[in-house]
Structure 1
Amino acid sequence: MFGRYDYSFHFTYDGIDVGIDQQDGLLVYRRDCGGQQYERILASETGGVVVNPVEPLNLPKEVTNFLQIEFDPIVIEPLSTTRVYLTFPVEIGIFLEARRDMEVLDIFGLNHQKYTLYGPPNGGVIARWHRSRVSAAMPEVEPLREGVLELRLRNMHREWVEVSRAVFESYDMKIYYNDFVGMTAEMRILNKNLAETDFIDAPLTPGMKKSVELYTAREIPVIKKGYLMAWGLA
């Protein structure tokens, strides 16, 4: 599904029906995803459509910039680095592109969104919540529902540390795709209750293409990099 298309674009798969049709001499974009419908008339002659995965924090509306992934506890030995694979929810962005300008037309997804509070009620952050399995190798996923996250866990503490969640900020996400969606991230564990998370701008496998970032398409300046998990790792 992901890639660049002209205005003959149409895609149907597993509850998704999306495309552009001619109607009374006009271009009409229509999308039906799990019964949720969206339609727009397009006034364009020379543009095209870009379809790619986007930061999974836009549905049903923009509630938060944070994603929390929970998983079975991992106990990490002191001063060591390990690598695991997790999953994350996929959201699909439709962009219009013409004359070197790009506009977000639509965002949709097949997952049901859940949210949680990371931290105390008087100082924590709302985060989209996703439960993931833990794998030693890249797991098989349903590519329009889940992506694969390679997480490098660096225990910089001189004691054993237990980790069962990772919280990320969307400004740093670097999403790549081909026949599946992938990201690479790192968690630097400072002590038993404190860690820094950040994304690495690199594809999981050779040949993957980089997604258009929503903040770039919307021309939103971004300075912040990384997130400090100050309210616990488990």
Structure 2
Amino acid sequence: MFGFYEIPLNIEKNGISISVEGEGGSLVYRRESPEGSVKKNILAKGGKLLINPVEPLIKPEELTPYFLVEFSKSVMIEPKAESKIYIKFPVEIGVFIAGERHYDILDCVTLMKQKLTLYGDASNGLICKYWLSDVYNSIPQAEPFHEGVIELNIINTTSRWIELTKAVFNAYGMKIYYGTDRVSMRANLRILGENFAEIDFIDAPIKSGMEKSLEHYTVRRMSVLTTKFVMEMGL
């Protein structure tokens, strides 16, 4: 389903049905999925749609740009060491309509359940989208319409053993790639202290031959101060 489509179109996969058809002198966009139905009128004669994975923070609504992945088992990192792990994240699918010079988001759909959590304490913590993931030593299998894989390169700059139980990401920095069999991101997590770490994304695919997604926050053309996230309320 991922890729470019000429209008009109009618596609269905993994329980998601998307169509754009002429009706009453205009175009009508319809989407059917387990989370519900969407219908929108498009005042255009034709064009293209782009369907690709987007940042996993759009559904059910944009409440936060922060995404917290809790590890099912904690990870111990030895002093002055670098190690690589893999974790999963829920896939959200963006439907973009092509304009003359740019794209705009038309719809977003997911097959995964949504949950929020708080990073930090109740007085000054951050609301985050939440996901619980197992930790893998190699790239795990994942159904690309349901889950993607984050390759997380962990660098412990301290002289102490550090226990890592979670990772918090900033959606403004996400670089998503997709292929026929996987959706992926890559990131660095640099441990700077016992309860202090910095995470930023790598703009490269996890495997060669993957396509780069058009990110939702990129399309919105927002002014962003930082694309990194600093974990300073616990690792």
Taking structure 2 as the reference length, the TM-score comes to: 0.95
* SS of alignment partner, residue 218 of structure 2: helix
Paired amino acid for 1:96: I
Q: Which residue of 1 aligns with 2:54?
A: 54
CA-CA distance at 1:24 after TM superposition: 3.3
Q: Deviations over 1:145-201 (max 9, x none)?
A: 100100001011101111010001101101111122110011001122111111111
Paired amino acid for 1:18: I
Count of aligned pairs: 233
* The 10-residue stretch of structure 1 (122-131 or 211-220) with the greater mean CA deviation from structure 2: 211-220
Q: Percent identity?
A: 41
Q: Structure 1 residue runs of 4+, over 4 Å off?
A: none
Q: Which residue of 1 aligns with 2:20?
A: 20
Give the Cα–Cα distance (whole angstroms) in 2 for the partners of residues 184 and 64 of structure 1.
21
Q: Any gaps of 5 or more consecutive residues in structure 2?
A: none
- Whether the aligned pair in 2 keeps the contact of 1:9 and 1:19 (CA below 8 Å) is yes
Paired amino acid for 1:189: I
Q: Deviations over 1:92-123 (max 9, x none)?
A: 10011021221110011011100100001111
Identify the match of residue 183 of structure 2 among 168, 181, 184.
Answer: 181
Paired amino acid for 1:135: Y
Q: Deviations over 1:11-47 (max 9, x none)?
A: 2223211121232343211011104110111121242
- Whether the aligned pair in 2 keeps the contact of 1:4 and 1:50 (CA below 8 Å) is yes
Give the Cα–Cα distance (whole angstroms) in 2 for the partners of residues 104 and 154 of structure 1.
36
* The 10-residue stretch of structure 1 (202-211 or 3-12) with the greater mean CA deviation from structure 2: 3-12
Q: Which residue of 2 aligns with 1:7?
A: 7
Q: Deviations over 1:208-229 (max 9, x none)?
A: 1111122221121223131110
- Whether the aligned pair in 2 keeps the contact of 1:47 and 1:99 (CA below 8 Å) is no
* SS of alignment partner, residue 182 of structure 1: strand
- How do 1:148-227 and structure 2 match up within 5 A? 148-179=149-180, 180-227=182-229
Q: What is the RMSD of the two structures over their aligned residues, measured on CA atoms? A: 1.2
